[in-house]
Structure 1
Amino acid sequence: MMLIFVAVFLLPVILAKLALENGWFNKAATNKGILIQPPIDMSLIKTEKHDPKWKLVYVLPETCDLSCENALYSIGQVWSALGKESDRAEVVVISHEKSSPLQLQKLKEKQKFRLLNTDLNNIQRIFNTTDTAGIFIADTLDNVILRYPLQSNAEQAVLHSRDILSDMRKVLKLSKIG
C-alpha cells in the first residue's frame, strides 16, 4: 500500500522530468511573430513626448514596392481591427532621407499613421543585426520585441495580418500599460 502511495506522487514528477530533458512536447510558444532577443531599443528616434502605447512599427524603404504597400495596408487594418483597444496602440512609420517621397506624401494624409523621421545612420545603428524589412511590434518603452516578414502576395499579407492582430491582442490583454 505504501509503494502505491509513493508511486502516485513520484511517477508524475519523474515523467515530467524525462519529458523536459528529452523534449517530448512543444514548449508553449504562443506568439506568431519572430521573437527578437534581446529586444531592440528604438528610443534614439523618439522625437516628441507621447502617451505610452504599444506600436506597430514599419521602416519605410527607398522604393515602396508591393510588399511595402501590403505592409502599410496590413498595419492599418490591424490597428483598425483592435477596435476599442486601438487607443492603446498606434501605427508608427519610420522614414529617412532616402524613403519614398511619394509614399511619404500619401502617409501624411492618413490620420492613423504617426511618422517619425530620422536619418539612415540612426536606423542602421538601432537595427544593426536585424533586417528592417518587416513589420515590428514595440512595447510602451520603445523596445522592439516581435518581427513579422513582409508578404508580396496580397492574400498572404491578409492572412499574415491575422497573426499580427493575434499577437497585438495578446500583448494588450496582458499589459496594464498603454
Structure 2
Amino acid sequence: MNSRTFFLLFCLCAIVPLAAAKLSLTMGWFSHSGTNKGIWMEKEIQLLPDMTNLQGNTFSSAEVHWRLVYVQAEICDTYCEQALLTLQQLYSGLGRKQLKIKPLLLAPPQSNVKQTAQLQQWPNIDWQPASFVVPELQNHIVIVNQRGLVLLRYPITASPEQMRDLAKDIRTDLLHLINYDRSGT
C-alpha cells in the first residue's frame, strides 16, 4: 500500500464518524438524557454563592462540593413536605458520601419563623433565605455545584410513589456527579 492510499483511508476513517455524529445531532436521533435522569439547565443560573470564594462560611468548602436544594414557592404545601422528606432520605441514604453534600431549603425571607419550626422535623436540612427565585425552579429539587450554578432540576409531585422514583433518579445522578468530580483532587 502506497502512502497516498494510506492517507486516503486514514482521512476516510476520521471523517466518516464525524459526519455520522453531525448527522445524528442535526436530525435529532441523539437522546440528550441518555445517562442523566434530571433536566439539564439550558442557561446558566447562579442560585447560590460561590463556596470557593467564601471565607469562614458554615460549610467546609474543602468537603462540600454539591448542594441538594429545594426551591420553595411562597408557602410550604404538600409538595414542599414531600420534597423535604425526599431530601432528608436522600441525605441519610448516602452514607459516607454525605460529607460531599449539603441539603438546603431555599425559601422566601418572610417565611423564616415558620421554616425554623418546620425544619426541626428534618435536622440535616438547612434553611437559607432566597434573595430571588427563578420561576422555573420553584417547586423543584436542584443539584447545585460548588460554584453555585444549577446543573440539574427535578420537578416535585405530590404522589409518594412518583417521589420515590424521583429520589432514585436524583440519587443516581448525584452519585455520578460525585464519582466524576475532580475539583477536590
- Pairwise same-fold verdict (TM > 0.5): yes
Greater RCO, CA 8 A, separation 6+: 1
Is 2:89 the counterpart of 1:77? yes
Task: Letter of the 1:73 partner, please give it.
Answer: L
Residues 45, 116 of structure 1: 8 Å contact kept:
no
Aligned counterpart for 2:151 among listed residues 142, 145, 148: 145
Q: Please identify, of 133-142 and 11-20, the stretch whose mean Cα deviation from structure 2 is larger.
A: 11-20
- How far did 1:135 drift? 0.5
Question: Is the contact made by 1:63 and 1:100 (CA closer than 8 Å) also made in structure 2?
Answer: no
Contact 1:107 1:113 in 2 (8 A): yes
Match of 2:170 in 1: 164
Determine the C-alpha separation between the residues in 1 that align with 2:140 and 2:105.
Answer: 12
Whether 1:41 and 2:50 are equivalent positions in the alignment is no
TM-superposed deviation, 1:26? 2.9
How has the CA–CA distance of structure 1 residues 175 and 17 changed in structure 2, closer, same or farther, with 3 Å as cutoff? closer
TM-score for both structures, normalised by structure 1: 0.78
Aligned ranges 1:1-178 → 2 under 5 Å: 9-23=10-24, 26=30, 29=33, 30-43=35-48, 49=57, 50-52=59-61, 53=64, 54-99=66-111, 102=114, 104-118=116-130, 122-124=131-133, 127=134, 130-177=136-183
What are the ranges of 5 or more consecutive residues in structure 2 without an aligned counterpart?
none
Query: Which structure shows the higher strand fraction?
Result: 1
Corresponding residue pairs, total: 172
The answer to whether the Cα contact below 8 Å between 2:84 and 2:122 also exists between their aligned partners in 1 is: no
Distance 2:136 2:32 in 1: 25
Q: Unpaired runs of 5+ in structure 1? A: none
Scaled by the length of structure 2, what TM-score is found?
0.76
The CA RMSD measured in Å over matched residues stands at 3.1
Helix, strand or coil for the counterpart of 2:150?
Answer: strand
Q: State the alpha-carbon separation in 2 of the partners of residues 44 and 140 from structure 1.
A: 9
Quote how far apart the aligned CAs of 1:45 are. 10
Aligned partners of 1:70 and 1:152 also within 8 Å: yes
What is the distance in 1 between the residues matched to 2:153 and 2:120? 24
Partner of 2:171, secondary structure, is: helix
Q: Comparing 54-63 with 36-45, which one deviates more in the overlay? A: 36-45
SS in 2 for 1:40: coil
**Percent identity of paired positions between Structure 1 and Structure 2:** 26
Secondary structure of the residue aligned to 1:146 is strand
Separation in 1, partners of 2:77, 2:139:
12
Secondary structure, in 3 states, of the residue corresponding to 1:39?
coil
